[in-house]
Structure 1
Amino acid sequence: MKVISPQKKREKRAEIDKKWIYIAFPLLTIIVFLGGMFFYRSGYPSTLLLKIHNLSSADSEFPISDAVSEVRDDLRTELALYQSNGLPTVFLDIPFDSMMQIEEKRDEALGVGILLSSDDDYVPATMHYNDEQTLDVKLRLKGDWVDHLEGDKWSFRIHITEDDGAVLGMRRFSLQAPETRNFVSEWAYHQNLFLEDILTTRYFFLNVVVNGEHKGIYALEESFTEDLLESQNRREGVIIRLDEDQMWANRALFEKDDLFEAAASYIGFFWQTEGAQYNEITPFRGNRIDRNEVLSEELEKAIELLYSFNRGEISANQVLDEKLWGRYYAITDLWAAGHGAIWHNERFYYNPLTGLLEPVAFDGVALSSFYNKNELAFPFSKEVFFNTPGVQKAYLETLERITTPEYIEMLKKEFGDEVGEYYSLLVKEYESKNIPVPPLLKSPWETLSLRSDILSRNLNPAQPIRG
């Protein structure tokens, strides 16, 4: 029998202990790393710093413990909520310094009554969509009116800065509270535009978590980029607009002045830049266009076309794809989405295959009570792009076709189930917060049917005027 000395036993045990250390240490390192990664991606650090800052400013007696407790409750209750409604989720992690800049800009906008934005307002952040990779982004507040900044659902414009990064096939988009665009009606309006081959921004509902805090359901809306054109089978080209910056700057000077507002209600907004013909024409994605010789040439053509049309030098059929413009105006009228048809909201795609400008629809605020009038072509009846024979002919032909019970029923069959699902989720969110459901949050079909009937009767009056 072989006898092992106590010394040998101790040496053997030490070797075994070393082996376990070699195994356990890397495992522990991996666990700590993964835990730290998930901790960071949850947004907990930034949220904690922000809440400590806010509570300290409020002279809280125990700012740190209060902040930790508040964030912990958020993580337990609200992060579970986003998983329950079946919608995808965008996680934004905004560093402390970036959030301070955003809050400062928000306070400035609330004081003026209008958000005046520039490229200098972008701040760095990170984001990820569901369980996909974390992406570097830059973001800022968005929205002209401060309804985009009220409450705790602030609107953001987001640019993904990584070359190979995208969310739902988009590299630039906005996140906004659904109520800023009249809830599910705006989504349905966009689907109708897609069906009729009118260019429009892609529009989704999803959850948004900012620095670990669940903000609820947002609307994600695409920006005006090459991604939009590619997704809708258009040739790469340029998208232009009539610059509205000066209009908003002028308006901001008087927005809080009751005397000027009262005067404007009687004699018009005399202090605003008015009319399409007086504004500079600018492109989206200008830096990208400058680096591409073909796109630069197309931009020159597009701008010259629009300027020449505004000066009355060439006819509409040499500038506008009149069939598409007429169809766009008719669908917009059906959905009472006239907000998007005001000159400073209109966008133009130069189609290099036709040499004509097509509409790019967005921001309709569909079925808003303000635009749901008992008249045709409100509020765009006097817009220069509508007041051309070819566009009006296409508008009337399309309106005759789409203001029938059969057409409304077809829309219900196409995307009625999704409308119902989104409507239910939005109602549930308000009810979960014990907030009354807004009157405008409703299924669109009854209002759309009534709207269709009103337009049809305006098109075909019982006693038409005869010349």
Structure 2
Amino acid sequence: MAKSLFLWSWVVTLPVTLIGGYWVFSTVERFHTYKVRYNPVNKSELDLGNIARYEIARLVQRIRAGVANNFRHNETSLKRIHLILSESEVARLEAHMPQSGFEYVKGRLLIDGKIEKAKVKYRGDTFYRWAWDKKSMRIKTTKNNLLDGLRYSNLLAPRTEEQLNNHLSYRLADIMGLVAPATEIVRLFVNGEDRGVHIKVEQINELTLRRHRLMPGDIYRGEIIGKDRYRGSNIGSLFDSPAVWDKVAINNHFDEHDIAPLTLLIDLVNRGSNPNAQAKLSEIMDMAVWGRYSAYETLTQSTHADDIHNWRLYYDPWRGKFLPVIWDTMGWHDRLRRVSYKPEIIASSLMKAMFSNGDFIRARSLALKQFFDSGKDELFLREVRQTIQTMEKEIVSDPFLNPPDPDTVKSHMSRLEQVIADGFEKTKRINVEDVAQVKDYGHYVLHNPDLKTIWQESGEDLYSWGEAHWNTFGYKENRPDIPAIPHIRYTYTRHTLELSVASK
């Protein structure tokens, strides 16, 4: 009996040895490539022990997904993206990661039932996007064969346990009428192999403006992080100098290198406490849109557009105004990591200057009120629920799911839904009350040209100067009375803040 067991022991030991050897090899190779050679600073996720645990978990998920797909016959409710790459082109991408992955290679893409030419590369500034088996990609089609109307599309590997931060953030931006990239949850297949769930996101360019029915104009890109970092310089903020910005869309009616509007904006931001600068900000910023943008940041609790990255600014040359373009919001990320709720998000020098502007404050207040009055909060929460239900079915059969445990991902998506609803409720509890009719001294000054000129020369705060003038001289003069406007009171758990809002 013992001899018989010994003779057949290889049936157990050989698979264990092979799997163990593969696990050790994969762990050491990934550790060497991304921790030793690439060497990101202070990234414990790439420590040897964490990589070893990932390699075991991903093997288990591959088996689990294989069984699930066998029962489901590879069915999916998501749109399929079929990408075809030759072995030589894959080898070029993988030759010396991560650097080799950032160069386009030739491929083919299935578009409307036809195989068309395309180019593919990996994308992303941080290892979250390409250090694991599921990698983020960018696809470039030919000019005549667009993918869903887009020439540049990103197929993003979700970078958090909850998977849906950016997708849902972009969907909320669209519901709120902001300029944001098109987004869709898809299933990617490379050479017929299921690569799992990806988030397809439009790359911001001139087609984005066309899709939002905006006139052609410059879109400025602000990034000084990762590959875009200005090493060895003294520039620590995007709002230190216009020189660290570039353009992702160009108004061909002007010189490609013309950055006069951006230069003016950065100058005004750095003089944010100056009344004249604030008056000029009111002229060059589309305050209604910026009010919605700030409301959006509060609703997503996003601090991702800060002084070093994630800024996209569209300049409308016909109206002479800047509009924000939503990019990489990573909504609710901080809240899911136990960061407390913030009623106002001021994560950059630009937004700090904006929060000193009365026109912006009024626009922001009105945007929040309109969002809840219109029922858009309920519309979005329903979409969140439906999206999570779809994802719960898809991730079980995702062979490259990260983290490679469907139950863990389901738990985090459920918590994401709770955090979104909780944040909406906290924001909605900012009670809107009609309070005592007060006089808008800013309106009084700005709508009387002679007073506006005197105030600008004084260098004093707009509202303080206007109140002092009215109480001293204005009430005696033959001028139209100051319009009384309703106020709203923002009542938070810990404090109360009164802000004026435009009349209904």
> TM-score, structure 1 length as denominator?
0.66
Q: Within 2, Cα distance between the matches of 1:82 and 1:240? A: 46
Q: What code does the residue aligned with 2:381 have?
A: K
CA contact (8 A) 2:181 2:208 kept: yes
Q: Specify which of 110, 131, 136 is matched with residue 155 of structure 1.
A: 136
Give 1:245 deviation, angstroms. Answer: 5.8
Aligned to 1:89: 80
Q: What code does the residue aligned with 1:128 have?
A: L
Task: Please list the CA deviations of residues 106-163 of structure 1 after superposition, one character each: whole Å capped at 9, or x if unmatched.
Answer: 3459xxxxx9x5xxx222222224x522222222211111111132110112221x22
Secondary structure of 1:125's aligned partner:
strand
Give 1:372 deviation, angstroms. Answer: 5.1
Q: Within 2, Cα distance between the matches of 1:434 and 1:181? A: 10
Aligned to 1:396: 365
Secondary structure of 2:304's aligned partner:
helix
CA contact (8 A) 2:122 2:135 kept: yes
Q: Specify which of 262, 265, 268 is matched with residue 309 of structure 1.
A: 268
Give 1:426 deviation, angstroms. Answer: 4.1
CA contact (8 A) 1:198 1:328 kept: yes
Secondary structure of 1:395's aligned partner:
helix
CA contact (8 A) 2:224 2:309 kept: yes
Q: What code does the residue aligned with 1:395 have?
A: R
Residue 408 (structure 2) pairs with residue 437 (structure 1): yes
Q: Within 2, Cα distance between the matches of 1:401 and 1:306? A: 28
CA contact (8 A) 1:341 1:364 kept: no
CA contact (8 A) 2:161 2:408 kept: no
Write the mapping of 1:28-427 to structure 2, written as runs, cut at 5 A: 84-107=75-98, 121-129=103-111, 132-160=113-141, 162-180=142-160, 182-244=162-224, 248-249=228-229, 273-278=236-241, 279-285=243-249, 289=250, 293-294=252-253, 296=255, 300-310=259-269, 312=271, 314=277, 315-340=280-305, 343-368=308-333, 369-370=336-337, 373-378=340-345, 380=347, 382=349, 383-384=351-352, 386-389=354-357, 390-402=359-371, 407-413=376-382, 415=383, 418-427=386-395
206-215 vs 437-446, which deviates more? 437-446
Task: Please list the CA deviations of residues 327-382 of structure 1 after superposition, one character each: whole Å capped at 9, or x if unmatched.
Answer: 11211211223324555201011123322111110211122124853222335265
CA contact (8 A) 1:325 1:359 kept: yes
Change (3 A) 1:411 1:311: closer
Q: What code does the residue aligned with 2:284 have?
A: V
Q: Which has the higher helix share?
A: 1
Change (3 A) 1:222 1:465: closer
446-455 vs 429-438, which deviates more? 429-438
Change (3 A) 1:204 1:340: farther
- CA RMSD for the aligned pairs? 3.9
Q: What code does the residue aligned with 1:461 have?
A: Y
Change (3 A) 1:213 1:271: farther
Q: Within 1, Cα distance between the matches of 2:378 and 2:201? A: 26
Q: Within 2, Cα distance between the matches of 1:272 and 1:225? A: 26
Report how many residues are paired. 363
CA contact (8 A) 1:181 1:365 kept: no
Aligned to 1:453: 425
Q: What code does the residue aligned with 1:437 have?
A: T
Secondary structure of 1:220's aligned partner:
strand
Secondary structure of 1:324's aligned partner:
helix
Q: Within 1, Cα distance between the matches of 2:205 and 2:309? A: 18
CA contact (8 A) 1:90 1:208 kept: yes
Secondary structure of 1:442's aligned partner:
helix
Change (3 A) 1:445 1:249: closer
225-234 vs 80-89, which deviates more? 80-89
Give 1:220 deviation, angstroms. Answer: 0.5
Q: Within 2, Cα distance between the matches of 1:271 and 1:304? A: 18
Q: Within 2, Cα distance between the matches of 1:452 and 1:247? A: 35
CA contact (8 A) 2:125 2:227 kept: no
CA contact (8 A) 1:79 1:213 kept: no
Q: What code does the residue aligned with 2:331 have?
A: A
Q: Within 2, Cα distance between the matches of 1:360 and 1:90? A: 26
Q: What code does the residue aligned with 1:393 have?
A: R
CA contact (8 A) 1:148 1:176 kept: yes
Secondary structure of 2:88's aligned partner:
helix
Give 1:451 deviation, angstroms. Answer: 0.9
Q: Within 2, Cα distance between the matches of 1:132 and 1:236? A: 32
Q: Within 1, Cα distance between the matches of 2:375 and 2:75? A: 36
Task: Please list the CA deviations of residues 57-92 of structure 1 after superposition, one character each: whole Å capped at 9, or x if unmatched.
Answer: x9xxxxxxxxxxxxxxx9999699695112121122
Identity of aligned residues (%): 17
CA contact (8 A) 1:240 1:281 kept: yes
Change (3 A) 1:247 1:341: same
Change (3 A) 1:135 1:338: farther
Q: Within 2, Cα distance between the matches of 1:181 and 1:324? A: 32
Q: Within 2, Cα distance between the matches of 1:420 and 1:378? A: 26
Aligned to 1:263: none
Residue 396 (structure 2) pairs with residue 428 (structure 1): yes
Aligned to 2:59: none
146-155 vs 430-439, which deviates more? 430-439
Change (3 A) 1:427 1:122: closer
341-350 vs 271-280, which deviates more? 271-280
Q: What code does the residue aligned with 1:449 have?
A: A
> TM-score, structure 2 length as denominator?
0.61
CA contact (8 A) 1:137 1:158 kept: yes
